[in-house]
């Protein structure tokens, strides 16, 4: 299935440099992510499929050998309000999928304004919209207050990763970011 299969006829998508960042700082993005998770009734460790259903998202798994997989993996196609597709690799680990889904939800909420603006957000490089989506995903999956509390109680990186349902690498990055705020 190529990316054209996910585009909707008659929808004018913004993509690449045409996707506008929200230009909020990390703390404001995180506050918004907390608000979204509260409104959706999402708690750390919960499954993301219920959240996706509530906001009209679908996951498309792709075989890495299919073209143009390299362009699609970790992307979101927002067609409209409550209508979007997230592309994941069929071979990725579930914890990687989980962060990617939360990241793409960040694009949906922050950059498409919940589908008001149809977009295609490709996960390439280090751009402002990618930072914002990462900040959203980190807070959505690993709320700073809860994460820092468990870390202060001596939880290991692997225990934090398991509790929040993320990879050890995601937990390590979160620890570093939150430790940097305290310093």
Average per-residue pLDDT in the chain?
90
What per-residue confidence (pLDDT) applies to 1? Answer: 44
CATH class given for the domain over 11-141: mainly alpha
Give the global pTM. 0.91
- Tokens, residue 114: 């919940």
Please give the average per-residue pLDDT across 4-31, as a whole number.
91
Residues 35-87 pLDDT 10s? 999 999 999 999 999 999 999 999 988 776 665 545 556 789 999 999 999 98
Residue closest to 79 by CA, chosen among 10, 11, 3, 1: 11
Please give the average per-residue pLDDT across 80-97, as a whole number.
87
What per-residue confidence (pLDDT) applies to 63? Answer: 73
Question: What are the structural domain ranges in the chain?
Answer: 11-141
- Tokens, residue 122: 């490709």
How many residues in total does the chain contain?
183
Question: How many whole angstroms separate alpha carbon 52 and alpha carbon 85?
Answer: 10
């Amino acid at each position: 299935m190529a990316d054209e299969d996910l585009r909707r006829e008659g929808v004018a998508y913004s993509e690449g440099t045409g996707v506008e960042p929200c230009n909020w700082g990390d703390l404001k993005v995180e506050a918004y992510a907390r608000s979204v998770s509260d409104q959706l009734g999402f708690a750390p460790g919960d499954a993301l499929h219920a959240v996706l259903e509530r906001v009209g998202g679908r996951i498309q798994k792709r075989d890495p050998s299919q073209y143009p997989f390299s362009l699609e993996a970790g992307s979101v196609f927002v067609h409209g309000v409550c209508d979007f597709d997230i592309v994941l690799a069929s071979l990725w680990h579930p914890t990687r999928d989980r962060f990617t889904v939360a990241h793409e939800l960040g694009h949906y909420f922050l950059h498409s304004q919940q589908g008001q603006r149809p977009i295609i957000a490709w996960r390439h490089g280090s751009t402002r919209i990618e930072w914002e989506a990462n900040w959203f995903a980190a807070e959505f999956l690993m709320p700073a207050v809860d994460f820092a509390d468990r870390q202060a109680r001596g939880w290991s990186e692997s225990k934090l990763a398991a509790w929040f349902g993320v990879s050890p690498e995601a937990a390590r990055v979160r620890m570093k970011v939150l430790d940097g705020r305290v310093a």
